[in-house]
Each structure stands twice: as structure tokens, then as C-alpha cells.
Structure 1
Amino acid sequence: MADIIQLLPDHVANQIAAGEVVQRPASVVKELLENAIDARATIIKLVVKDGGRTLIQVIDNGTGMSHTDARFCFERHATSKITSADDLFQINTKGFRGEALASIAAIAHVELNTREGQAELGTAIKIEGGTVASQEFTAVPEGTSISVKHLFFNIPARRNFLKSQQVELRHITDEFHRVALAHPDIEFHFFHNGSELFHLPPASLKKRIVGIFGGKTKEKLVPVEEETEVVKLHGFICKPEYAKKSRGEQYFFVNNRYIKSPYLHHAVVSAFEGLLRADTHPGYFLYLEVDPSSIDVNIHPTKTEIKFDDEHTIYAILRSAIKHSLGQFNIAPVLDFDQDRNLDTPYAYRDKSAIQPRIQVDTGYNPFKEDSAQTFRHSSRERRPAAEWEGLYVGLESKMSEETSFSSVHLESEANAPLSFDPLYEDTETQLTSFQLRRKYVVTTIKSGMLIIHQNRAHQRILYEKFLKMATFKEAVSQQLLFPLVLSFSRSEMSIISDIKEQLEMFGFVFEEMGEEQLKIAGIPALVAENEVGIVMDELIAEAQAHGDQLDTSPADLLSRTLSKALAVKTGTPLNEASRQSLVNDLFACREPKLCPFQKPAYITMAESEIDKNFN
């Protein structure tokens, strides 16, 4: 039998490796920015065109490379970070695999210009699809400039999987945020299509966070700091009242490397237990410093997942530190059984002595003396009000006849008195057509038995079809606001709103002004209450971040589902008879009443025979 196993050619192996390392333009941005940081750059510029499809360029003022190193950096597993397997457990740099540049060069056109500080001339290299097109000496500034053009030009299938320019730009922005937050001492510039999106000068961590997420973020932050033998922790958490529907502002950094850790995230959420609204997520920017030998960063190609030697201890320390910060800054309620603050002496009265109360007594008063008794009666008559209260009862006896009894006294009808709950029966003979169970289900009878409707999901289906009809036929009704609403968002959130602005206008939103961090709304859909606009916008942003890819294919459907979810009647809301009947009628007037917009049952039926079985 002939041998069938063979070695893959280098260009094929590089393309396979590129599938692991380079998933989209944001992956290229991450690798290039990390290389610039490893080169000890103090100023880094990121230039992107068309969401990274046309150009991704990173310019730094780092140490640069020699003529030979500039050529070897594009070879597979060529790196200056490690020399032996033992070095994998003492990693203090960003990149160390030696796969990034080789993988990028295999699927794009790459141009590299670099020069060391002491060299008179630098090196310029051009690579197309893994093949070196040219290499020559040239005059370039100190540092490195690398340009990646026409990503996935030789893999059309991968290029077709790329999303729209706005979606890819959001992913690039997320990677830029992660790198910039990890290194507040480095100056960053971010350009897209010729316009500067971010200019972040060197600053403290708090100023770097505010510079990225906007000035409103400053009032949200609560510092966290703890130092132990296992881990050194510092950073910030966001106050519970600023928790959002989306998971956007959640960052973990271990030794200045961004990581994803569901286990540590659970520690943060458990520390906020009892302080968050339902379906909201806390924001945090937490930095952990541990011994490099106690972690393994070589378990994932993108290096965003690491393994701790003692993650249970880190979990407990993280949870305890956050709880301490919440209590220290009076964010969480604290019980103090030793002191009652209501009994504290005000600061202005601390040095003053107590004033004894004085009582004036008429020692000569004698109630048995005639002059004293007259004086008492005279003073009592002076205190009596002008309208004698006895006069209210004059003639009352004459109006009531002897036949009058309690049975003839007319009392207020109980039917007219306000009720705190709906009665099961309108009267003793007629039964209501529906009732509410646990403020969650609407139960009514049908010919075959019983119908049980999930009030939240049913209302979602009703609103979903209304919003979808508005967007399809452009029949949205907008109510103008007397005073425009001004809402504050981060720059990344504002970019999402600008992407869906046209679709939101089809639903009835009217935007008067859109700034970098503020949004002014002059009109809202008729189905949206004014006090719910902020909640609706947070829900829209959260869904756009989670399912942004659907904005390219079916934006009206995504926004209709999001609006219906945000505005539907919630579980726990009491419904009167008219509301219950309207819910039933509107649900079965829908084209697809069986399921809610998220493909979950909106109602179930229970036949009479099925009920009878339970009584056999």
C-alpha cells in the first residue's frame, strides 16, 4: 500500500495557522498593537480603512528591528521572547508564539518599514500571500510601521464571512480599548477613514477609563485595592445604579494582559448580590498581578484565556475585596449594632454644654379660691373656638324619627369602593371570562377546556408584529416631546446608535442632535413612554452588541424584537379585566400567536378531558 501521509507546504500550513490566529481584522489589530508594546513604544498610532478590509496600519516609536530580524520575523515560530520550554512559564511579554506575523503575511499584502535607533538606514519589506516580493534598505523614522492591506485576498470564502464595515469597526474598537486600558502610560492614536476617533495621552488609570468611555464614567467608578501574597489587585468597579443591560464595560487584566474568565466574573457578580436590578450586569476594570510561574497563558491561540494554579483563592480574594469597597464607600448597606447615628451629636454642638430646661410655676395659684376659678373659666372660654362644636348637633334629635334604625342607614356601596385586587366574580351569578394567576399567567376558558397565556410573551408577540408592521410599511407614529430628552452614552455606544439611527427613525424616533457622548431625542414612538426611553435605548445597545451581525441582514426584525422585549408587560404586573380581555383578543389577532418573537410558547391549552383525568 502506498504511503499517503505527507508534509504540508509552508503556504498551506501558514493559512491553516492563520485560521486560528486571524479570525477577522480585529485579530490583526490585536497582534500588531501587542508587538508595538513589546517593542517598548511610548507612542502608538492605529490607522484603519473600511473597517480593516482595505488597510490596517500600526506605527510605533519602539526599538525597531535590524535588517536580518525584519526578514526572520515573518517565519513561522520565529520569536525573540523565548528560547526554551521553561520560558513559557515566565512570560512577561504579549507575544511569544512567533505565529502572528507569519499567519498575517500568508493571507494579506504586508509592508514593513523599520529602523533601529543607532542604525543610519532602515529596512523595507513587501510580502504578498506569504511570498517576499522585495526587501531593501531605506530611510525611515526610528521604530516600526507595518501595513496590512487586502486581508483574506487569497481566501475569498473567509473574506465573504466578514460583516459590514460598522460591525468590523466595533470589533476593532473593542480590541483597541483592551490594549489601551492595559497600558495607560502609553500614548495612543486611532484613525478610521481619515478621522481621529481616539487620542489618549499618557494618564492615570482613572483618566484613561474616562478618556475612553466618556466624562460621565467618572462618577460611576469606585476604587478597589487589595494586596496579598497570592495576588495584588487594583482597579475600579461601577456603582450598582449604573449597571447596564449589556456586558460591555467588563474588563479583567492579569499582568497587563486582557483575559476572559467566567469564573472570576462570577466572583464579581456574587459580590454585587442584592444590589443589582434584574437582568443587569455590573461594570468593572480589574487588574490582577500574580507570579508569572503561577499561570499558564499558552492554552489558547489568541491568549485571552489563562489557567491559574490556585483560582479558588483568587476567587475568594476578589469577591472579598469588592464587597469591602462597596461597604467602604457606602455603596452597600452596612449594619452597625454598636452605634445609632441618629443619636450622634452634631459637630457644631460637640463643645457646648447641655442647657437645663426651665419650668415656670405659679406658686400662688389655688383652684379653690373664687377668683382663681373664675380666671380658669374665663381662660377656657377664650380658648374655645368661635364656631361652637355643640352647634353641629342642634336639631339632630328632631330629624331622626322613632322608626329610624340601623337597617335604614345608607352605607357606601362596596362595589364603588376601590379594590386592591380584582374580584373573581362581577356579582353572585355572572363569572368573569378570565383571571390572572400569580400575576404571570392569564387563564380563560375555551370550548374544549382551558387556555393559559404567558402575559409577558403574549405582549411581546403583539408589540413585535406592531413594530414590524411600522417598519415595513413606514407607518410609525411619533409623539413630539415638549422638552427634548438628553441621554449620555460612551463613544462606542454612540457609534452603535449612529449605525441603527435610520432604522430607529422608521419606528418613530426623532433625533435632534447626536454628539460624541450625548444624544438629544425630540420625538419617540407612540407606544413608548417618555420615562422608558433610557431603558429602551440600553436594551437596543445590548442587543446590537450581542447580535450585531443581524443588523446587516434583518435590522427591522432585530429592532422589533428588542423593542417588544423592552416594552412588554412584565411578570408581576397586575392586569384588570379589560386589560386581560384585550391581551387575549390582540394575541389571537396576530399572524403567529403560538410563539413569542424569541420562539418560546406564548400560551398552552388544557383540554377538559385532560383535567378530568386528574380526578379519576
Structure 2
Amino acid sequence: MSQIHVLPDHLINQIAAGEVIERPANALKEIIENSLDAGASHIDIQLEAGGIKRLSVTDDGQGIDKTDIPLALHRHATSKISSLEDLEKVVSMGFRGEGLASIASVSRLTLTSRTNMDNHATQIYAEDGKLSDVKPAAHPTGTTVDVVELFFNTPARRQFLKSPATEFAHCRTMVERLALAHPEVAFSLQHNNKNILSLPAQSLQERCSAIMGTDFTAASLSVDEKLNEMRLHGLIGKPTFTHGKTSQQYIFVNQRFVRDKIILHAVKQAYNDVLHQALTPAFILFLTLPPTEVDANVHPTKTEVRFRQGQAVHQLVFHTLNKCLASTNARHTTSVSQPETALKDIMQKQPAEVQQVFGSNKINTAIHSPAPYQRSHTPVQRNLSLKESQSALNTYAELYKSEPVLENNTISIPQSAEIDNELASLEQVRGINSTYQSVQANETIIPPLGYAIAQLLDIYILAQAEDALILVDMHASAERVNYEKMKQQRDATGKVNSQTLLIPIRFNASHEEIALANEYAATLQDYGLDISVENHQQLVVHTVPAMLVKSDIKMLVQEVLDDLMKIGSSEVIRERENRILSTLACHGSVRAGRKLTLPEMNALLRDMENTERANQCNHGRPTWVKLRLQDLDALFLRGQ
């Protein structure tokens, strides 16, 4: 039987390195976080072979005092905390004092640093965890950490590393995360002597554009809300941003990048009603709260946190994003989607199609290309009075009229007076004043979606706005309008309508589910669920939400209890009801193939402008698109 003995410090450091330093990107993170804690305004990173052969970080921070240089490479030696109270309210990126020591135990590390009070820099070298003597060196104020041959003395660990290209990709991702969290700091990144990133100190918007791309920032919405001492701000992608992926989901808690289930759940829930199921939202969210309200010391790599008030965090994230996404309608949007991509595809195919039609003869574009269209004046579109639009409406009524009704072998045609009365009533409902004076007073006020001018293929509405044509999917739009109206009617009561089951549903439950059912009994009743416990092992469901009476009750209850356990609240009931309302709205909305009159089309456009989330249908598809004059010019090669 082997005896218990104390492990040597060197082996302890290598074991700790296995938890903290999994790959070069982790070593890079530890070093850069030290630079940020030192108040650096510029951080320069140089990598070779993905950081496996060499990684070097130089900053212009406050530096390390020459007397502290040897301690910097010892385990649990730090200047950032000195008591448990300090740990509970820590604001620095690092605080355990094990990062540099762990790296030094599995590499050849050189640390050079100088404060603004020293005449020269101080340098120390560590190999396989053994420290050299301190010696003077030349270096400006700041610190350089040079790491060579990472994992050279732990071949088993080195075998788990991927190719240099893959390891560099992880390093770059790590740098981009830290750069997003600190836009006020300049970053530069080189790999194998090639410049990869050069980010000056800039605003958050500029940093997001540099890292996420201009496509994201152009298709993003800004959020900024507070709840007590918590603040959430950042950028979230519009539901129509189709390039989103999980690698474009950034969550920062007190400027620390984390992966948190509570926040991700709230984000998913907020997008649930507007995002197509095949798409992934892209976002950059910064949550700031008192350090005492969050525990960052729950994971070796500090990528997980624990909140004291997880339900409040979930509420802030969900309501902030839900409020922002709810405002996505025509009144608050210049265009729901960008037609440039589709138009670009058309234009790329154009030359081949032209050659097929006209042969291979070359055309002198300098002679035959028309000049760009120049408008002599800005057209003014206004609400049309009855007298002014009677002729046009009669023309469209003739085009879209229903089959005539035969009465005694004769055709019954509505009288002109009846048409006048019907149109006048429609004008009154839509707030259109028939007097010419009123029209003149408001002639410059044009609704965001303009006025309908035609129906295309009995599927789309073509409208003309002030400076563009608007194409509207009439079924998708009507579906969203009806869906939001149904939700408003449901929410107006302020409670969930429940129905008592004739035969209560019983099922065996886990100890956790039993405890949750007892603890949240009042909350469950607010959700329309009356649940009792029998024999300490069964749950009995007596009432359920009336709209969900035909659903799988056992699964419904289990999903609600699971949410209550994780975040202290649940939206399962509301989401299930919303699915039913969405189906009802879909079946009750105008279908493709139905002919609409101009007043009906305009009525739908006005409803869209005043409906939340009207830019997407219930399934997340866009409901309208804007074609600007320059888009149309591009189709006809004007100005090219």
C-alpha cells in the first residue's frame, strides 16, 4: 500500500497548468488579462506556429516592481486580493495568482518589466518551473512576457494540441474577445511575422465593426437598459441578419467573457417570436453589476459565473431584448432586409444571359448605355381624396372585382352611390379627409410603407414610398398583424385562463420536482397550473391553461419546473399559448391568391406600421423589402 506524501511544488504547478492552460490561447488570455489589469493602453501580441513555438505579449502598463519580479512566477502570489472580502468583490481580470506560474511550469518563459520609477527594466527567466537570477535589462515602461516551446516538458499534453493553424484560430478568437471587452485599449496581433489585427483605441461601435464586420453593425440594434444596479448594453442582430452563428454570440459580465445559461436562455426566449428557426442570433451584450452580486471564481478558466439574483438578470436581459425587437416595424426601420445581395446575384448572372439572347456581338456601352435617371423634382405623395381617386379606384375595382352575381339571368352591379358610401366610410376609418384643403396641409406626410399601387401575382403588394418601392408579402404581414392582436387580447386580462380537468393527471416525479412544486405552488397557479403532491412521490395536476388542455400535460409541467429550477421563472406556458395563437393567426389571415382592393392593401400597410415585430412573420421570415432608386438603376445597368 503506497504512502501519502506531499507533492513537490513543480508537479503541483504542472497539474494546475493542466486545468488553466489547455492550449496556447489560454496562456495568451492569462497574460493579456494581466496587461489589462496593469492599465495598459496598447497591447502587442506576436505568435509563431499558432503560439505553440512562441507567444509574446508586450504592454505599456504600470509594470512590475523589481523586488516583485521573482514573486510574479510563484503560485498564489498576487497583488490583486489579500482577503476573502477582496475575493467577493474582485473587479480585476485575474486574482488567483496562478496564471504565470502555471505557464512557467510548462514552457521556457522570460519576464521583463519596468515601472516608471525604475531607471532600467528587470528580467527573470524560468524553464521547467525553475527560476534564474534576476538581471537588469532594457525595456520601456511596461511588461513583456515571452513564452517559448509551450508544453515542451509535458509531451502527453502537447500531443493533444491541434495544427498550428487551428491553434492560431483559437488565439485570434481569444484576442478578439478581449479586444471587444476593452475598446479603449489598442491591440495589434502578428502571426509568423504577418500583421493580422491592428485595432486602435476606438468606440464600441467601431470595435464591433472591425471584429464582427460592417454587415453586422449595419443590421444590428442598440440596447441599453438599467435595472436597479444592473446595466445591460450592447448590439443585437436584427432577426433578418442571416449570417449569425454561435461564434458571433458575445456575453461579457463586468468586461469578462463568459458562457452563461441564464443569459443565453433569456436571449433565445426574446428571439423566439421573431427569428426563423434555422437562423442563429448574433449579439454582443455587456452586463455590468456590483462585483458582490456575481461570483467569477467558479471555473478554472473563469468562463462561467454565478449570479446571486439569477432571476433578475434573466428578467433584465429578456425584457431589454424583447422591448427592442418589438419595435421592429416600418416606423422604426429604414428597410427590413437589404436587397443588395439578391441584386448582386442577379447582376452576376446578367452577362451570361445577355450573351445567350443577343449572341457574342459586343455592345458599345459608351454609346448605348443610358445616363442615370435624374429626377427634376422630389415627388410628393399624399392621401388621396375620394374625388381625386375615384377614377383610379374604379379601375382597380374592375380588375379585382369578384365574379358577378346572376339574378334572374341578369348581372347585378352595385350602384355608384353605394360605391361612394363604401369608399367614404373606408376613408373615414383610415383617417383620410376628403377635403382638398386637408390634403394640401398634409401633402408632405407620407407613411413609411407608402401607398399601395398594385397587387403582384395575388401574393405581393407593391407600394410606393417617398423614395423607394416597397414589396410586401401580404400573407406574412397579415399573419403577424393578427398574431399580435390576439396576444394583446390575451394579455389584456392579466392572467392565464385555466380549466379544471375532469380526471386529474398523476405521474411519478423526482425529489427535485416534488420540492419545486411545493416551493413554487403560488407561481404555478399564476401560470394556470394547480398541482398537489401525493405520497411524496407523485404530482397531481388539477387545472391547466385552457388553451393547452389538449397538450402533453406531464411534459408541460416538467418543462415549467425545469425553468423554475434554473432561473426561478418560466415562460413555457406563454410560449405554448403563443404557438397556438400563431397557428390561429396563420389560418385566419389573408391567403396568397386572394385579390385585394387598394383600400384593403393600404389598410394592411397602416396596420403593419403600428404593429410590433411587423418586420417578420410568426415564423421569422421578412414581411417587406425596400427597393431604392439606386437598386432599380443597378438592375438596368444605369450609370455603369
TM superposition score normalised by structure 2: 0.52
Superposition deviation, residue 291 in structure 1: 0.9
Alignment of 1:107-186 (within 5 A): 107-186=106-185
CA contact (8 A) 1:230 1:314 kept: no
Partner Cα separation in structure 1 for residue 5 and residue 198 of structure 2? 51
Provide the secondary structure at the position in 1 that maps to 2:27: helix
Change (3 A) 1:105 1:332: farther
**Residue 210 of structure 1: aligned partner:** 209
Change (3 A) 1:92 1:113: same
Partner Cα separation in structure 2 for residue 274 and residue 159 of structure 1? 46
CA contact (8 A) 1:111 1:127 kept: yes
For 1:33, the aligned partner's letter is: I
Asked which structure has the greater CA Rg, the reply is 1
Superposition deviation, residue 46 in structure 1: 0.8
Alignment of 1:464-479 (within 5 A): none
**Residue 454 of structure 1: aligned partner:** none
Change (3 A) 1:331 1:292: farther
Q: Does 1:60 align with 2:59?
A: yes
Change (3 A) 1:356 1:278: closer
Change (3 A) 1:275 1:170: same
Q: Does 1:303 align with 2:307?
A: no
Partner Cα separation in structure 2 for residue 253 and residue 244 of structure 1? 21
Superposition deviation, residue 230 in structure 1: 4.2
Percent identity for Structure 1 against Structure 2: 37
Provide the secondary structure at the position in 2 that maps to 1:95: coil
**Residue 78 of structure 1: aligned partner:** 77
Deviations 1:178-200 (A, max 9, x none): 10000000000011000111111
Partner Cα separation in structure 2 for residue 200 and residue 75 of structure 1? 33
Partner Cα separation in structure 1 for residue 331 and residue 266 of structure 2? 16
Superposition deviation, residue 59 in structure 1: 0.3
Alignment of 1:267-278 (within 5 A): 267-278=266-277
CA contact (8 A) 1:44 1:60 kept: yes
Provide the secondary structure at the position in 2 that maps to 1:271: helix
CA contact (8 A) 2:245 2:281 kept: no
Provide the secondary structure at the position in 2 that maps to 1:312: helix
Provide the secondary structure at the position in 2 that maps to 1:7: coil
Deviations 1:88-127 (A, max 9, x none): 1111100000000110000000011110012101101111
CA contact (8 A) 1:43 1:61 kept: yes
Partner Cα separation in structure 2 for residue 64 and residue 167 of structure 1? 32
Superposition deviation, residue 218 in structure 1: 2.3
TM superposition score normalised by structure 1: 0.54
Ranges in structure 2 where 5+ consecutive residues have no aligned partner: 334-378, 391-640
Change (3 A) 1:120 1:240: same
Deviations 1:550-596 (A, max 9, x none): xxxxxxxxxxxxxxxxxxxxxxxxxxxxxxxxxxxxxxxxxxxxxxx
For 1:142, the aligned partner's letter is: T
Q: Does 1:106 align with 2:100?
A: no
The runs of at least 4 aligned residues of structure 1 exceeding 3 Å deviation read 243-246, 331-334, 347-350, 352-359
Relative CO higher for 1 or 2, CA cutoff 8 Å, sep ≥ 6? 2
Provide the secondary structure at the position in 2 that maps to 1:288: strand
Superposition deviation, residue 215 in structure 1: 2.6
Superposition deviation, residue 132 in structure 1: 1.1
CA contact (8 A) 1:42 1:61 kept: yes
**Residue 40 of structure 2: aligned partner:** 41
Superposition deviation, residue 246 in structure 1: 3.3
Deviations 1:392-438 (A, max 9, x none): xxxxxxxxxxxxxxxxxxxxxxxxxxxxxxxxxxxxxxxxxxxxxxx
Partner Cα separation in structure 2 for residue 319 and residue 66 of structure 1? 46
CA contact (8 A) 1:182 1:257 kept: yes
CA RMSD, Structure 1 to Structure 2 (Å): 2.6
Partner Cα separation in structure 1 for residue 214 and residue 50 of structure 2? 26
Superposition deviation, residue 3 in structure 1: 8.2
Partner Cα separation in structure 1 for residue 330 and residue 57 of structure 2? 42
Superposition deviation, residue 219 in structure 1: 1.1
Change (3 A) 1:333 1:318: same
CA contact (8 A) 1:275 1:332 kept: no
Q: Does 1:292 align with 2:295?
A: no
Provide the secondary structure at the position in 2 that maps to 1:222: strand
CA contact (8 A) 1:267 1:316 kept: yes
**Residue 51 of structure 1: aligned partner:** 50
**Residue 388 of structure 1: aligned partner:** none
**Residue 263 of structure 1: aligned partner:** 262
Superposition deviation, residue 278 in structure 1: 2.5
**Residue 579 of structure 2: aligned partner:** none
Superposition deviation, residue 134 in structure 1: 3.6
**Residue 241 of structure 1: aligned partner:** 240
Partner Cα separation in structure 2 for residue 331 and residue 164 of structure 1? 49
Provide the secondary structure at the position in 1 that maps to 2:132: strand
Superposition deviation, residue 317 in structure 1: 1.5
Provide the secondary structure at the position in 1 that maps to 2:162: coil
Superposition deviation, residue 160 in structure 1: 0.8
For 1:28, the aligned partner's letter is: A
Superposition deviation, residue 308 in structure 1: 0.3
**Residue 408 of structure 1: aligned partner:** none
Provide the secondary structure at the position in 2 that maps to 1:118: coil
**Residue 221 of structure 1: aligned partner:** 220
Partner Cα separation in structure 1 for residue 24 and residue 282 of structure 2? 26
Deviations 1:139-159 (A, max 9, x none): 211100110100000001101
Partner Cα separation in structure 1 for residue 55 and residue 7 of structure 2? 29
